[in-house]
Amino acid sequence: AITIVLKEITARYAEFLSSKIASSTLHADAWHHRTDAISSLLVVVAMIAGVYGYPAVDGWAGLAVSLFLIFTGFEIARDAIDDLIGKPPTMEEVESIRQIVLGVEGVLGAHDITVHSYGHDKFVSVHAEIDASETTAVAHDISEEVETRLEKAIGVEPTVHMDPVYPKNPMVQDITVHLDKVWSKDDRITDIHDIRVVNTENHHLILFGINVKAGLSQKQIVECCQSLEDDLKRKFDGFEINIKVSPLHRY
């Protein structure tokens, strides 16, 4: 009985340390001690049951211990594999990063957020939209501030890509209003960003990027883009439409 209690105390302490430093090794060690405690407890139960005339309990207890060890081993292995190949971020993490980026003066939008987690190491890349009229020096200062805030707030290694946009361009404003009014409620599209216009003597082009909902088939994505393109061509006659769909690992 004392061994069981000590093993459980050791397991809880290892789990506590694991949560503090995000260590999968300590998490596995915690379950190692816990399985010892549970196995010992089931052995005690089987022995008592045998004394009182229920020898079959020993076999069932052995089966229970075996299944429990298999399940625990699978869970630990899955966590270890996640640390090796990387885990997808939660939407709360993505939105937290987005709000930090948007909180920097001069940033007009944030998109294509990518998060790679390997154990306790986390790497983030983000596209930050700034006014195209800003100088290179100002754009650099903004990107440095974004990186500094991300490092301090969530302890990540950030990479910031600056996207120049034209918020004061009347046509960009019209396109933005139209997309927000007509397409913001389309559940296939999760974000529209980086809206630009090329309107010269030889080129009449509207360009922007979108993020789509996870789970859409390639056919559904193509149909969505085609509907979006047809709508904009009707609204802005004479312009070609170029839509870039972001990979699903970008948010």
Residues 180 and 231 in one domain: yes
How far, in whole angstroms, is CA 77 from its chain's centroid?
21
Reduced to 3 states (helix: H, G, I; strand: E, B; else coil), residue 28 is: helix
Note the pLDDT tens digit of each residue in 92-105: 889 999 999 999 99
pLDDT for 17 = 77
pLDDT for 187 = 85
The count of domains in the chain is: 3
pLDDT for 240 = 92
Question: Across the strands, what pairs with 132?
Answer: none
Which uninterrupted H or E stretch holds 16?
A: helix 2-21
Domain containing 142: what range? 86-165
pLDDT for 143 = 94
Sign of the CA dihedral running 166, 167, 169, 172: positive
CATH number reported for the structural domain that contains residue 141 in this entry: 3.30.70.1350
Residues 81 and 92 in one domain: no
- Choosing from 145, 165, 185, the residue where a domain stops is 165
Q: What single string gives the DSSP state of each residue in 172-191? A: HHHHHHHHHHHHTT-TTEEE
pLDDT for 81 = 72
- Choosing from 28, 57, 85, the residue where a domain stops is 85
Residues of the chain with pLDDT under 50: none
pLDDT for 32 = 76
Q: How many Å apart are CA 193 and CA 129, to the nearest integer?
A: 9
Does the predicted model carry a pTM greater than 0.85? no
Residues 100 and 52 in one domain: no
Residues 77 and 113 in one domain: no
